[in-house]
Structure 1
Amino acid sequence: MISEQEILSASILIVDDQQSNILLLEEMLRGVGYACIASTSDPYTACELHRKNRYDLILLDLKMPGMDGFQVMEGLKDIETNGYLPVLVITAEPGHKLRALSAGAKDFVSKPFDLVEVQTRIHNMLEVRLLNRELENHNKVLERTVLERTAELRESEARFRRLTELSSDWHWEQDENGHFTKIFGPVFEMLGIRVDDELTITRDHQGGSWNETERDLLEENLVARRPFLDFVYTRTNPDGSQQYLMVSGEPMFDPSGRFIGYRGIGKDVTETMRPDVESPANE
């Protein structure tokens, strides 16, 4: 919420070619506690003053010689690129009110002044203006925070991926239908398998064969959507040698609890699974 002190500390510019009107408005504003009041009787200076000071509210007379209030508002539009003109127009002609609002003014007061009405309209307009500005600042902070958090998440994801790459030979993700959506590492070359356009892996028996019992156990885990850790299975290469592969995986679910696939890592552990060979010195 906007405090009363914030409203009374808002910056106000009075633009009126009649010095008597300026003095009346200044006296009225200071009388109720407004502290930051500027004025000009030259409409040609209004836009430049606002460009330098960005007033919270401009009290603008519509009927002025040389450059009227409508022309001033057109100039203000070049400054307020967000389309919001903090203008409360002053007019003695009822027909100008609708035209002024259509031109971008946010409210109006009529001459001769009803001081209570003027005070009320100024107070209400400033409250809305400051609330909008506070919301804009909050949105900017929120947007900056989102960008920072997104960058942090991307950095964290990249770091996690790098650590995964260092600790395994490949890592992978599948969708709910078992199609591979992400694969990192030389899994195809290592396993001697082929992949179709949808990243669906098929067994290439010409490149070797898996232990079907072990593969069935792995498939059971996947079908049951169970996590598995360091599951080792074997593959017989075309030259008859045995290859040992270790995989770990976990199911993925969206915030509503719907299963959306699997992700995991894999590693060739053939060297660690081979029996130790005694050296000649120990024979």
Structure 2
Amino acid sequence: MISKEDILKAHILIVDDIQADVILLKDILHEAGYKNINTTITPSTVSDLHHANGYDLILLDMQMSDMNGFEVMAELKSNLCDDYLPIFAITTQPEDKLRATAAGAKDIITRPFDISEINPRIQNQLEVRLLYKKLENYNQVLELTVQQRTAELSASEARYRCLIELASDWYWEQDEHGSFTIVSGPVREMLGIQTDPGDDSRPEVEQPTWNESEREELRDKIDSRQPFLDFVFSCVNPDGREQKFQVSGEPMFNQSARFIGYRGIGVELIVSNNMSEQGK
């Protein structure tokens, strides 16, 4: 949480075009224990000063000659570098109080200054401001951490796929709806999915005959989101030659344990004398 020491170290800016009033309010705040107080009698410099110093509270006189407090607030609002900046409007005019509040002032203080009255309100606003800054810093650190972790995961995934491709003949991935996102190898054919639906321009080519019981068993495993290891799948080509494939796959889940798809690898087995052995 925010300590009293943190509050007393907050950066405060006093804006008033009358030097005597600036000195009076600064002395009052110093006596209350505030350590970082800046002042200006030139209201046109407030926006630049805030961008340079990042004040936690601005005490702003509303009745100034060259540029009044409402104009200063409008300029701050258009060039604000953060979403929460407490501004205390200093005024004795009743109509200015409502107008200042509508313009975004967090509080109103009047002369003569009574530190016992305004100090608790200043402390409350500074505590909110400092909590907001702490949360903003935390969110920035969290965002950076997520970006770094995402980059690490992407690099790890790339290495994983590279190793998988080196260790197998082909690789495949499906999304949560069963659509293939990466296909390398005969997975579509194994599952009985037409490779190019609606393409009537290609000449008809006799297709291999896949073992339907094996095909159904593999479909059931994928539909029920089960992992499978070294599942053997076979087909007979039009020339009578038998082919066998060995496939492995696993369901994928995100960090929230939500299913996001499947991925797997496969190799072709060499068929010799009606016996299969590992090919590559």
Relative to the length of structure 2, the TM-score reads 0.81
Q: Following the alignment from structure 2 to structure 1, what is the Cα–Cα distance between the partners of residues 36 and 246?
A: 73
Q: Which residue of 2 aligns with 1:182?
A: 181
Q: Which residue of 1 aligns with 2:266?
A: 266
Q: Indicate how the Cα distance of structure 1 residues 97 and 172 shifts in structure 2: closer, same or farther if over 3 A, else same.
A: same
Q: Following the alignment from structure 1 to structure 2, what is the Cα–Cα distance between the partners of residues 63 and 222?
A: 74
Structure 1 counterpart of 2:183, one-letter code = F
Q: Following the alignment from structure 1 to structure 2, what is the Cα–Cα distance between the partners of residues 100 and 89?
A: 7
Q: Deviations over 1:140-167 (max 9, x none)?
A: 1111122222222222222222222222
Q: Give, in angstroms, the shift of residue 125 of structure 1.
A: 1.2
CA contact (8 A) 1:77 1:83 kept: no
Q: Indicate how the Cα distance of structure 1 residues 250 and 34 shifts in structure 2: closer, same or farther if over 3 A, else same.
A: same
Q: Which residue of 2 aligns with 1:103?
A: 103
Correspondence 1:23-62 to 2 at 5 A = 23-62=23-62
Q: Give, in angstroms, the shift of residue 184 of structure 1.
A: 2.5
Q: Indicate how the Cα distance of structure 1 residues 51 and 247 shifts in structure 2: closer, same or farther if over 3 A, else same.
A: closer
Correspondence 1:148-163 to 2 at 5 A = 148-163=148-163
Structure 1 counterpart of 2:195, one-letter code = V
Q: Give, in angstroms, the shift of residue 236 of structure 1.
A: 2.0
Paired residue secondary structure (1:141): helix
Paired residue secondary structure (2:66): coil
Q: Following the alignment from structure 1 to structure 2, what is the Cα–Cα distance between the partners of residues 253 and 91?
A: 60
Q: Following the alignment from structure 2 to structure 1, what is the Cα–Cα distance between the partners of residues 101 and 241?
A: 86
Q: Following the alignment from structure 1 to structure 2, what is the Cα–Cα distance between the partners of residues 68 and 137?
A: 33
Q: Following the alignment from structure 2 to structure 1, what is the Cα–Cα distance between the partners of residues 141 and 40?
A: 35
**TM-align CA RMSD:** 3.2
Moved more, 215-224 or 227-236: 215-224
Structure 1 counterpart of 2:129, one-letter code = R
Q: Following the alignment from structure 1 to structure 2, what is the Cα–Cα distance between the partners of residues 154 and 260?
A: 16
Q: Give, in angstroms, the shift of residue 175 of structure 1.
A: 6.2
Q: Following the alignment from structure 2 to structure 1, what is the Cα–Cα distance between the partners of residues 165 and 67?
A: 70
Q: Which residue of 1 aligns with 2:277?
A: none
Relative to the length of structure 1, the TM-score reads 0.80
Q: How many residues align?
A: 267
Correspondence 1:102-181 to 2 at 5 A = 102-174=102-174, 179-181=178-180
Q: Following the alignment from structure 2 to structure 1, what is the Cα–Cα distance between the partners of residues 258 and 46?
A: 61
CA contact (8 A) 2:247 2:266 kept: yes
Q: Deviations over 1:121-141 (max 9, x none)?
A: 211111111111111111111
CA contact (8 A) 1:11 1:57 kept: yes
Q: Following the alignment from structure 1 to structure 2, what is the Cα–Cα distance between the partners of residues 83 and 139?
A: 14
Q: Which residue of 2 aligns with 1:278?
A: none
Q: Which residue of 2 aligns with 1:70?
A: 70
Correspondence 1:190-205 to 2 at 5 A = 194-195=194-195, 197=197
Q: Following the alignment from structure 1 to structure 2, what is the Cα–Cα distance between the partners of residues 43 and 216?
A: 79
Q: Indicate how the Cα distance of structure 1 residues 147 and 251 shifts in structure 2: closer, same or farther if over 3 A, else same.
A: closer
Q: What runs of 5+ residues in structure 2 fail to find an aligned partner?
A: 199-203, 274-280
Q: Give, in angstroms, the shift of residue 251 of structure 1.
A: 4.4
Q: Percent identity?
A: 51
